Structure 1
Amino acid sequence: MSKKTFTETARRAQIVAAAIETLAELGHARTSFARIARRAGLSSTGLISYHFAGKEELITEVAATVLTEFREHVLPRMAGLDSAGAQLRAFLLANFDFMATHRPKLLALLEIGPALRSGAGDPGLLESDLAGLAELLRDGQRRGEFREFDPRVLALAIRSVRDGVLRRLAVEPELDLAACAVEVVRMFELATCEPGETWAGEQRD
């Protein structure tokens, strides 16, 4: 990698990091190139425009960056588990672990989600993430571990609950995420299993 390419890559990453912090603090509507430039310590917004044609391109890059880090955090925790229930539990717990250590990144993603879903940026980023979760649920049904339900609807419910906890965390920084994780895991175990059963295939008392 040439020195120029390295410098441009580092500048691009700096802009994305500043955008994440600005989005997390101010929200999508109040995030502008001017505010991002100030946070990044850049002399002008032209340095942002050199790398990103507009706000839509930048938020797409933010989403791609956060989702890549999220997947790198979550997927290894699911690897090697031999049941869909164990994988879903690992997925949920990893979400809360990531939330505890990368709160601004998830808040930024939460802020730009509506814009991406409305077509401002690349809506396929969020859709692919949702599709992966729905496929995990569908696989549990194929294995006979999960009851019959609409996998996409439940995937949306899981994401909505996660986002709801994140919104609460934004205004209540001392929120006990470990306790929240226990309740959410229990909620979706009940939602996916037949009455009286657990993800381990055991009968619940």
Structure 2
Amino acid sequence: MRVNPDSAPAGGGSGRSLTTDARRTQIVTATIETVAELGYARASFAQIAKRAKLSSVRLISYHFEDKGDLFQALVGTVQETARAFMQPRIEARPEPAAQLSAYIEANLEFLAEHPVEVRALVDVLANARREDGSPLVSSTDFDAPVALLVEHLRNGQLSGDFRPFDAEAMATAIRASIDAAANRLSAVDDFDARAYGRELVTLFSLATRNVEAK
């Protein structure tokens, strides 16, 4: 990563300047907005530079090694925004059933409040490919939510809050339902993510609850 030699280092030993971080954020934000509006296929460096009000597309290449580096930053930024949005909502409700509901609600609330970021993320993950057909950006982190859901469901079964069921199958179904909402939101403008979320909460509350628990 090249550092702007005309700026003082940022605090915390990051190795990057405050100016550099601000410029990178500006470029990533413009990339998110460009992909959401035009689609990944039309999101050229020229279009991104225009939206970011950069004097030259070379400024993008200065801050990002290549297209893969830029779009990996896009994915990472949206993931971090989602984590910061959802985590406090989920952790505020520690009981297993309530936390599962909070997890679903937080996901769908994020979709409702951040449609631009969601559209950009869905488009990049679906369409960003290298010449050999491999994904342009890594999506290895997207298996983590299912693994965490499996752990949560199994813990809820051990505590007696959830009925016996295949935790991996249930976690996959929950995650697939949430991902389907993201795909739907990216395709239409009138999708009511919050209403969908309420239905998912009801559906999976009924599917997981232990009716024999006192």
Q: Does 1:169 align with 2:158?
A: no
Contact 1:64 1:125 in 2 (8 A): no
> TM-score when scaled to structure 1?
0.81
Q: Residue 198 of structure 2: which of 182, 186, 204 is its match? A: 182
Counterpart amino acid of residue 102 in structure 2: A
Which aligned runs of 4 or more in structure 1 are off by greater than 4 angstroms? none
Contact 1:21 1:105 in 2 (8 A): yes
Q: Does 1:10 align with 2:22?
A: yes
Counterpart amino acid of residue 198 in structure 2: V
d(CA) in 2 for partners of 1:139 and 1:45?
Answer: 51
Q: Residue 43 of structure 2: which of 31, 44, 60 is its match? A: 31
Bigger radius of gyration among the two: 2
Mean CA deviation greater in 10-19 or 141-150 = 141-150
d(CA) in 1 for partners of 2:114 and 2:167?
Answer: 27
The structural deviation recorded for 1:107 is 1.6
d(CA) in 1 for partners of 2:40 and 2:109?
Answer: 24
Q: 1:94-125 deviations in whole A, cap 9, x for unaligned? A: 11221121111122222223459x54323223
Counterpart amino acid of residue 139 in structure 2: P
**SS in structure 1 of the partner of residue 65 of structure 2:** coil
Q: How many residues align?
A: 197
Contact 1:15 1:48 in 2 (8 A): yes
Closer, same or farther: CA 109–140 of 1 in aligned 2, 3 Å: farther
Closer, same or farther: CA 86–10 of 1 in aligned 2, 3 Å: same
Q: Residue 57 of structure 1: which of 69, 75, 82 is its match? A: 69
Unaligned regions of 5+ residues in structure 1, if any?
A: none
d(CA) in 2 for partners of 1:35 and 1:157?
Answer: 38
Paired residue for 1:128? 144
RMSD: 2.7
Unaligned regions of 5+ residues in structure 2, if any?
A: 1-6, 10-15
Q: Does 1:81 align with 2:96?
A: no
Paired residue for 1:137? 153
d(CA) in 2 for partners of 1:56 and 1:9?
Answer: 18
Pairs within 5 Å for 1:78-157:
78-114=90-126, 115=128, 119-157=135-173
The structural deviation recorded for 1:171 is 4.4
